Amino acid sequence: MATFKNGDWVQITPTPDERWEYWSKEHTAMAGMIGEIVEIEIPEDDPTMKFVRVMVYDENNNPVKQEWFLEKHVILSTRYDKVLADERDRACEELQKWEKKKREMIDESLRHAFGLEPIKKPAKKKKKDTTTALKVDSTDEEVWEGPTEEIEQETIDEILEIIDGIDGMDGFDYDALCDGPDGAD
CA-CA distance, 71 to 48, in Å (whole number)?
A: 10
Q: For residue range 140-182, what is the model confidence (pLDDT) as tens digits?
A: 555 555 656 566 777 777 777 777 766 655 555 555 555 555 5
Phi, psi of 36 (to 5 degrees): -115, 140
- pLDDT at residue 158, as a whole number: 78
CA-closest candidate to residue 80, choices 174, 184, 7, 9:
9
- pLDDT at residue 176, as a whole number: 55
Q: Which helix (H) or strand (E) holds 110?
A: helix 79-114
Domain boundaries, the chain: 9-77, 85-169
148 in Cβ contact with 117 (< 8 Å): no
CA-CA distance, 15 to 27, in Å (whole number)?
A: 10
Section 34-54 average pLDDT? 91
Question: Pairing mode, if any, of strands 34-41 and 63-70?
Answer: unpaired
DSSP state of 185: -
Band (5; pLDDT cuts 50, 70, 90): confident
pTM: 0.49
- pLDDT at residue 114, as a whole number: 81
4 in Cβ contact with 37 (< 8 Å): yes
Section 99-111 average pLDDT? 90
The half-sphere exposure of 136 on its side-chain side, counting CA atoms within 13 A, is 12
Section 8-35 average pLDDT? 90
Phi, psi of 115 (to 5 degrees): 65, 35
* Other residues' Cβ atoms within 10 Å of the Cβ of residue 35: 26
By three-state DSSP, how is residue 69 classified? strand
